[in-house]
Structure 1
Amino acid sequence: MDYLIGEYECKLDAKGRMVVPAGLKRQLPDVEREGLVVNRGFEKNLVVYTRGEWNKILDQLSRLSQFQKKGREFVRKFTSGATELMLDSAGRVLLPKSLLEYAEVGSELVLACNLRKIEVWSKSEYDRQMVELATEDFSDLAEQVMGGFDLEGGLNG
């Protein structure tokens, strides 16, 4: 799968359904057949994966030792709440109420593509975070995170 791109503002209807934006749907050619998986993010957000990407993560998690408490706890916490999403005939997905409450998502949300996953944020929280990322802060972050890499993604040196 290619990397996903774009940022989409969406609205939830009264039942918690969201229309998958056409620009995003074009990037997910198998979504109607395979569906998606939504789960809690590490921040107050949700993360949507294609079924294939979710299975890759589960393959990684299956290699953690089930004999170590931290491994069991992480798998349990990471996978709790994971829900399969299927598009209905109108191109909508139903986001689970418990996950929407976790992410404090109201009727307005932002879908922000992040490599091979889609982050779901309440619009107000997403806007707040973008304001906090002042130009100088982003420049400093870029230097700290990417400063040692060449254009091909390897370390300079």
Structure 2
Amino acid sequence: MTYRNPTPTVDIIIELIDRPHRPIIAIERLNPPHGWALPGGFVDYGESLETAAVREAKEEIGLDVRLIEQFQVYSAPDRDPRQHTISIVFIATATGNPIAQDDAKTVSIFNPWEIPSELCFDHGQIIADYFQYRHYQIRPGIRE
């Protein structure tokens, strides 16, 4: 019998704390699926989720981040068109100017209420959940 398990990933909501209103960072993906996304990626074998989040931020936008908290887990089987993934989302802070690197074609800084229209995966939902949490202290509930 062959087992097929979801693949663990991390996504990072990075608040730029050296700017007014603590804007967050999005990248335009270089590889399919194309569109805008939060920085993040696959967890390597033998790597902790926290290490993966810090590594992915550095690889994609060139910034050192400080993880503040584990925000939420997103696991809908269709959240990634390439395969079934489970994403552990972290909130992090950083300072400086992000630079698109690795899998990022471009990088953008935006306020959470100015969400780009071409978001990949379920990142629109993640950002909406984050906005509710950050501004109204409403943490997202469990989804089935």
**TM-score range for the pair, normalised by the shorter chain length:** under 0.3
TM-score (norm 2): 0.27
TM-score (norm 1): 0.25
- Give the greater-gyration-radius structure (CA): 1
Q: Report the structure, 1 or 2, having the larger helix content.
A: 1
